[in-house]
């Protein structure tokens, strides 16, 4: 029962619902999500931690950065995530997606000294 409560509590926050919707197209780094939502690293990490604790997202570490994706290993949680993705109108994240796209375009072209994210060093 407490497991079920943890999942629904994780889904009771608009930011966390938007994170799931943003991850619909694949894995993102914490810095990508920070840019999309114009939020601090601590706030983004808090929300991602709640989602991970509920089993809705999974993470992997690359260097000092964490990358997150929807965790589809559990059928029930997978259905809930799909419900969130399908139930949220696309325009809900319009400005967030625009910020993310701009950030992604610029992050791999920035000079190494100017980077404050997970951009690959070899991309320059």
123 vs 56 pLDDT, higher one: 56
> Looking at 39-43, 57-61, 107-111, 115-119, which range is the least confident one?
115-119
**Spatial distance between the Cα atoms of 19 and 91, rounded to a whole number of angstroms:** 14
| pLDDT tens per residue, range 21-62 | 999 989 999 999 999 999 999 999 999 999 999 999 999 998
> Looking at 1-10, 12-21, 75-84, 102-111, which range is the least confident one?
102-111
**Spatial distance between the Cα atoms of 5 and 56, rounded to a whole number of angstroms:** 13
Cα of 122 vs its chain's centroid, Å: 24
60 CB contacts (<8 Å, ≥6 apart)?
27, 66, 67
Report the predicted TM-score, pTM, of the whole model to 2 decimal places.
0.82
Confidence (pLDDT) at 90? 79
Residue 99 bridge partners (DSSP): none
Going by pLDDT thresholds of 50, 70 and 90, the confidence category of residue 124 is: very low
Domains of the chain: 2-106 (1.10.10.10)
The per-residue DSSP string of 83-99 comes to: HHHHHS-GGGGHHHHHH
123 CB contacts (<8 Å, ≥6 apart)?
108, 109
Q: What is the mean pLDDT of the chain?
A: 86
38 CB contacts (<8 Å, ≥6 apart)?
99
């Amino acid at each position: 029962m407490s497991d079920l409560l943890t999942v629904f509590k994780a889904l009771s926050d608009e930011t966390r619902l938007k994170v799931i919707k943003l991850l619909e197209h694949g894995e993102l780094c914490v810095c990508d999500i920070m840019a999309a939502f114009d939020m601090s690293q601590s706030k983004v990490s808090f929300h991602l931690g709640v989602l991970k604790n509920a089993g809705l997202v999974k993470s992997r570490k690359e260097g000092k950065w964490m990358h997150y994706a929807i965790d589809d290993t559990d059928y029930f949680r997978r259905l809930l995530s799909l419900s969130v993705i399908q139930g949220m109108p696309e325009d809900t994240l319009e400005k967030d997606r625009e910020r993310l796209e701009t950030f992604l375009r610029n992050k791999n072209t920035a000079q190494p000294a100017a980077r404050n994210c997970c951009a690959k060093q070899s991309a320059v």
